[in-house]
Amino acid sequence: MLPHQDEKEPTSYRGSCGSCPVTVRKMPYLGSEDVVKELKKALCNPHIQADRLRYRNVIQRVIRYMTQGLDMSGVFMEMVKASATVDIVQKKLVYLYMCTYAPLKPDLALLAINTLCKDCSDPNPMVRGLALRSMCSLRMPGVQEYIQQPILNGLRDKASYVRRVAVLGCAKMHNLHGDSEVDGALVNELYSLLRDQDPIVVVNCLRSLEEILKLEGGVVINKPIAHHLLNRMSKLDQWGQAEVLNFLLRYQPRSEEELFDILNLLDSFLKSSSPGVVMGATKLFLILAKKFPHVQTDVLVRVKGPLLAACSSESRELCFVALCHVRQILHSLPGHFSSHYKKFFCSYSEPHYIKLQKVEVLCELVNDENVQQVLEELRGYCTDVSADFAQSAIFAIGGIARTYTDQCVQILTELLGLRQEHITTVVVQTFRDLVWLCPQCTEAVCQALPGCEENIQDSEGKQALIWLLGVHGERIPNAPYVLEDFVENVKSETFPAVKMELLTALLRLFLSRPAECQDMLGRLLYYCIEEEKDMAVRDRGLFYYRLLLVGIDEVKRILCSPKSDPTLGLLEDPAERPVNSWASDFNTLVPVYGKAHWATISKCQGAERCGPELPKTSSFAASGPLIPEDNKEREQELPDSGALMLVPNRQLTADYFEKTWLSLKVAHQQVLPWRGEFHPDTLQMALQVVNIQTIAMSRAGTRPWKAYLSAQDDTGCLFLTELLLEPENSEMQISVKQNEARTETLNSFISVLETVIGTIEEIKS
């Protein structure tokens, strides 16, 4: 019966549907004309028309072809005729067909509209509803004038099925009008339909009003409406309940008494079998009770059970989202789930995203009683087949180590014994962060380190190891020899960041163990300055080289000056956050993404895409605390700042400078804040790194302090600068002159200058 070309059916059913008419792919389909012809003949055949079942089968074939992407618009007339039937399935199919092709065949669409209009007054409410829904879904110009009356009739229909459709139809009609004017009468009618006896009509009214009044801030929930909705809550289905709970967030109770009345009414929804409703109710509680912290805490205690149940739900997706919310709550109530810590043990068959969340949760609910068990459990995960999971377990142990240092360091040390690359690298990174935050463990870490260089291949791990060797090299006997290996292989090293770290580390180690390091430091500097191709590495090499020329004391002062205080808040875990700081994010996507990440996602929608990375506790770990790191980042940014390229070694004589300076006018003047001590040498060196030469400057401590700088870009444009520091005003005044008036390069130059000064300022503080 069917043409044999059928075998080539595309695998995808492209359907279109009520609300969206066009998806039909126009694809050249061999023989589709024959199919259309054959179907047309069948549809017109009075014998088939007389046999209800056969007639419907033909129509079903039309639909099937349509969803497979064949152009079936050729039988439009015949299909419209087929809608004149009492068979509801047949009607549905024809409506589906009409909605798909009407916009493609505007000349015939009127025919469809007439048929639908007629069906809108059919005695069968189901037919009325279906016809109205299909009509509202015809997205084509000019359809508004036809649908308005049927919608208005539908709002007053005695069958709730039709009213539900009509209410949503209002929103669709509004969209067709281009969202411009709001029809006041219609809005009033919808507000009055909030009193409809059918619960779904009520919820649809809210949905529809929300869309129509979008520009005015959505549907207004005043006191009578709020209480009406609260009283209808128990009659709604779970979707309705969840949505109404969301709308109620807009309502602000007038008195404390009213507030507690509302909370009492909502109580039972905290026990709903639908996690969505439970979360919606929880959020409403948290928001309404924002002035009553004890009520908030009480609510969180009561949803503990449902949340935990969701965390072990059959649906892995529910588990995941529930776990994200558990973490959110833990931010404010650490220990809230501590007695249930075993619920967060991972089962090996769970998907990764759940395991990673569970590990994060475990890490946050450790206390004196469970630390042993939790660590044992985490220790088990560290050898998991999945490297990602194993690594996150190690990071988690590192997190716990901030409180329970000894136990954790011991576990981490044991892990090094496995000599597995992916484990060793993460352990070493964890160690690096740890000695920084918990200096008391330095000794243990130093003892654990020897030997692990053999099992580290990746950039992050090498950096961490080299950093540790540099900073604590005096306590690690073989430190110079390990670094020497890195120096030997520096040519084949692929990561510039590792070379940078190596430079810094070796220079540091040189300060504490000069005899062992001098030779290789020389080799490394030579390599970096003469052979290295990466600019940042080369500049760093030069920077250190010049620093060494100034004298060893100066090197010591700069490299080993006091580190920033580890108790600084930003390095520590964020303190407990009040519930109110996240209540409005509860039951949204924020807990899934983390607030900061969510902000970037929503901000750069359209500009950039961000993967759903899960925040890691160790995110701060990447950048060490040292001065040069800061510089490094800045330097790498510099080439981006406009098209400015400053030429190195462009040394002007003092005379020439003076002459030019006097002959030019100030092109730019600005003031930067500056507090406290000041080291001219540091500034000079930093400026040199970005190819700004210092012509002259006052000695340290002079008041006011002055400096004259010069620089030239690749087009020959000269920038002459005066820095004037007046410590009592806490500000640095910058005046720049330019021999060619070019605003663009001037701005780039100034931003370079600002960056350098800013960096020095940061280092100092």
How far apart are alpha carbons 746 and 765 in whole angstroms? Answer: 28
For other proteins, give the closer residue by CB, 199 or 480.
199
| Position 243 contacts other proteins (CB under 8 A) | yes
Q: Which one among 286, 299, 321, 393 touches other proteins, defined by CB under 8 A?
A: 321
Q: Find, among 460, 399, 461, 450, the residue nearest to 424 by Cα.
A: 461
Q: Which two tokens stand for residue 32?
A: 């589709």
Contact in structure between 752 and 644 (CB atoms under 8 Å) = yes
For other proteins, give the closer residue by CB, 403 or 588.
588
Map the footprint of other proteins across residues 83-102, applying CB under 8 A. Answer: 86-90, 92-93, 96
How far apart are alpha carbons 736 and 719 in whole angstroms? Answer: 7
Minimum gap (Å) between residue 96 Cβ and other proteins: 7
Q: Find, among 701, 686, 655, the residue nearest to 760 by Cα.
A: 686
Question: Locate tokens 């090293």: which residue?
Answer: 493
For other proteins, give the closer residue by CB, 52 or 563.
52
Residue 222's SS3 state is: coil
Give the phi and the psi of residue 161 in degrees, each rounded to 5. -55, -45
Minimum gap (Å) between residue 311 Cβ and other proteins: 11
Binding mask 106-145 for other proteins (x = CB under 8 A): ------------------xxx------x-----x------
| Position 607 contacts other proteins (CB under 8 A) | yes
Minimum gap (Å) between residue 201 Cβ and other proteins: 11
Q: Alpha carbon of 382 to those of 77, 184, 294, 376, 401: distances in Å?
A: 68, 64, 39, 10, 15
Q: Which one among 146, 260, 353, 481 touches other proteins, defined by CB under 8 A?
A: 353
Minimum gap (Å) between residue 275 Cβ and other proteins: 5
Map the footprint of other proteins across residues 609-628, applying CB under 8 A. Answer: 609-612
Instruction: Identify the bridge partners of residue 584 per DSSP, sorted by sequence position.
Output: none
Map the footprint of other proteins across residues 250-289, applying CB under 8 A. Answer: 267-268, 271-276, 278-280
Map the footprint of other proteins across residues 413-432, applying CB under 8 A. Answer: 418, 420
Q: Which one among 151, 445, 592, 644 touches other proteins, defined by CB under 8 A?
A: 592
For other proteins, give the closer residue by CB, 52 or 118.
52
Tell how far CA 107 is from the center of its chain. 48
| Position 588 contacts other proteins (CB under 8 A) | yes
For other proteins, give the closer residue by CB, 40 or 232.
232
For other proteins, give the closer residue by CB, 318 or 542.
318
| Position 312 contacts other proteins (CB under 8 A) | yes
Q: Which two tokens stand for residue 94?
A: 């024809």
Using CB atoms within 10 A of its CB, is residue 384 exposed (0-12), middle (13-18) or buried (19+)?
middle
Map the footprint of other proteins across residues 164-183, applying CB under 8 A. Answer: 164-165, 168, 171-172
Kind plus residue range of the DSSP H or E element containing 720: strand 718-726
How many chain residues are in contact with other proteins, going by CB under 8 A? 115
Q: Find, among 379, 314, 326, the residue nearest to 350 by Cα.
A: 314
Considering only the stretches 253-261, 502-510, 584-592, 674-682, report the one whose residues sit in contact with other proteins under the rule CB under 8 A: 584-592
Map the footprint of other proteins across residues 696-735, applying CB under 8 A. Answer: none
Instruction: Identify the bridge partners of residue 666 per DSSP, sorted by sequence position.
Output: 737
How far apart are alpha carbons 309 and 313 in whole angstroms? Answer: 6
DSSP letter for each residue of 232-270: HGGGS-HHHHHHHHHHHTT---SSHHHHHHHHHHHGGGG
Q: Which two tokens stand for residue 204?
A: 């649809």
Considering only the stretches 307-315, 470-478, 502-510, 745-753, report the one whose residues sit in contact with other proteins under the rule CB under 8 A: 307-315
Query: What residues contact 26, with CB distance under 8 A and at least 6 apart?
Result: 71
Parallel/antiparallel/unpaired status of strands 731-738 and 666-673: antiparallel
Map the footprint of other proteins across residues 327-346, applying CB under 8 A. Answer: 340, 342-343, 345
Considering only the stretches 293-301, 391-399, 401-409, 601-609, report the one whose residues sit in contact with other proteins under the rule CB under 8 A: 601-609
| Position 156 contacts other proteins (CB under 8 A) | no
| Position 301 contacts other proteins (CB under 8 A) | no
Q: Which one among 32, 83, 115, 204 touches other proteins, defined by CB under 8 A?
A: 204
Minimum gap (Å) between residue 463 Cβ and other proteins: 24
How far apart are alpha carbons 409 and 403 in whole angstroms? Answer: 11
Map the footprint of other proteins across residues 491-510, applying CB under 8 A. Answer: none
Q: Which one among 192, 222, 383, 669 touches other proteins, defined by CB under 8 A?
A: 383
Minimum gap (Å) between residue 569 Cβ and other proteins: 30
Contact in structure between 669 and 734 (CB atoms under 8 Å) = yes
Considering only the stretches 222-230, 605-613, 633-641, 714-722, report the one whose residues sit in contact with other proteins under the rule CB under 8 A: 605-613
Kind plus residue range of the DSSP H or E element containing 159: none
How many Cβ atoms are within 10 Å of 252's Cβ, its own excluded?
Answer: 12
How far apart are alpha carbons 342 and 307 in whole angstroms? Answer: 14
Considering only the stretches 206-214, 363-371, 484-492, 624-632, report the one whose residues sit in contact with other proteins under the rule CB under 8 A: 206-214
Binding mask 43-62 for other proteins (x = CB under 8 A): --------xxx--x---x--
For other proteins, give the closer residue by CB, 325 or 508.
325
How far apart are alpha carbons 365 and 330 in whole angstroms? Answer: 8
Minimum gap (Å) between residue 20 Cβ and other proteins: 4
